[in-house]
Amino acid sequence: MLEVKGLEVSYGSIKALHGVSLKVPEKSIVTLIGANGAGKSTTLRAISGLINVRGGSVTYDGQDITNLAAHQLVARGLCHVPEGRMVFANLTVDENLRMGAYLRNDKTGIAEDVDYCFHIFPRLKERLTQAAGTMSGGEQQMLAIARALMSKPRCLMLDEPSLGIAPMLVRSIFEQIVAINKERGITVLLVEQNANLALQVSQYGYVLETGSVLLEDTSESLRKN
Ligand code: ATP
């Protein structure tokens, strides 16, 4: 569904990605793991059109999407949940969810998807009128994922959903990521530093080190390695 070939990205004179290649089959969960600064977020940002790709290509659904703008990708069903969540802090939970559906006008479908978000993250329903910025990190992460679901994605890219979140909530968020993949058939590209957890929920994994893929294998084999 998503294929990255020889991706090269630089920040000024600093090269952050040196020809990264990876494949994400439809309806799978694929993880990209690696230490701080390995280039995981840069890879997602390049796929999403948030930074310029200097070399290589990104193909989605058989079409070249290299350097397309983020809003064009959301319209095609490719949605990015950024590191640090980036919820609209001054808007309520309800308003954040509706912002996720910004490109849609099917009222019934939107209402159904709001219900589905409450089904997977019941806590959001309890906090509907609360300003998103006043919620805990874990709750904001739930909201960021739910907001992305409101765009009706077919492929979801999640950047470090476990970052800065209480361990109990992390497990529950990962269970819901698996549920979203199974129940809705949404393909997931998951970026994580928590390798053990990411390899438990994914089928295939890539290990990034200083801007290059060091290792790739089934998640089961990577876990044993
Ligand atoms: P982390 O988990 O810490 O976010 P990461 O694997 O996602 O790490 P990136 O954030 O993609 O890594 O960073 C890859 C490299 O690019 C690092 O060397 C980083 O310092 C550099 N980099 C990232 N963003 C910028 C920027 N805006 N300007 C300059 N260099 C950057």
Atom of ligand 1 nearest to the CA of 83: 4
Q: What residue type is 91 in one-letter code?
A: L
177 Cα–ligand 1 center, Å: 25
| pLDDT tens digit sequence for 124-161 | 999 999 999 999 988 999 999 999 999 999 999 999 99
Instruction: Spell out the residues 6+ positions from residue 29 whose beta carbon is closer than 8 angstroms to its own.
Output: 177, 178, 181, 187, 188, 190, 201, 202, 203
Cα–Cα dist 67/70, whole Å: 9
Instruction: Place 210 in a pLDDT band, splitting at 50, 70 and 90.
Output: very high
Tell whether ligand 1 has an atom less than 6 A from the beta carbon of residue 37: yes
Tell whether ligand 1 has an atom less than 6 A from the beta carbon of residue 40: yes
Instruction: Place 187 in a pLDDT band, splitting at 50, 70 and 90.
Output: very high
Instruction: Place 163 in a pLDDT band, splitting at 50, 70 and 90.
Output: confident
Atom of ligand 1 nearest to the CA of 41: 7
Minimum CA distance residue for ligand 1 atom 14? 39
Instruction: Place 87 in a pLDDT band, splitting at 50, 70 and 90.
Output: very high
Whether the CB-CB separation of 36 and 193 falls below 8 Å is answered with: yes
**Residue 167: its pLDDT value, please?**
86
Q: Which residue has the tokens 């659904």?
A: 61
Give the CA distances from residue 161 to residues 66, 74, 83, 144, 189, in Å, rounded to whole numbers and listed in that order: 25, 19, 7, 9, 12
